[in-house]
Amino acid sequence: MGDKKFMDKKNDSNKEYFFRGKNIRMRGVQEQDYEVSMYRWANDVEFNQYLSYGLYPATPGTMRNLFSDLMSKENYIFSIDDKSTNQHIGI
């Protein structure tokens, strides 16, 4: 499997990764993930077309509230980063 918690000095020294695969890295979700990537995905019609809850407009405030709500519970939520681009690509 992957390495447990390590600092990736090469690409992003401020993030701890819990898993490192061939093409991806997994880390704990951060508020910025919700404010940027997830906000964009939540408002993308094509991205949401097959999801059961449908498309509802999200605001930055909605995303901050969602993040705060999820972090107040005992959840294990990981962000997935593409190793080649260092971009957040999923949770």
Give the residue with greater pLDDT, 7 vs 71: 71
Instruction: Please give the pLDDT value at position 1.
Output: 39
How confident is the model at residue 58, as a pLDDT? Answer: 86
Whether residue 80 has pLDDT greater than 90: yes
6: CB partners within 8 A, 6+ apart: 16, 17, 20
| Tokens representing residue 17 in the block | 């990764």
pLDDT tens track for 2-50: 433 333 444 454 568 889 999 999 999 988 898 888 888 888 888 888 8
**In this predicted structure, what is the pLDDT of residue 46?**
87
**What pLDDT sits at residue 24?**
96
26: number of Cβ within 10 Å: 17
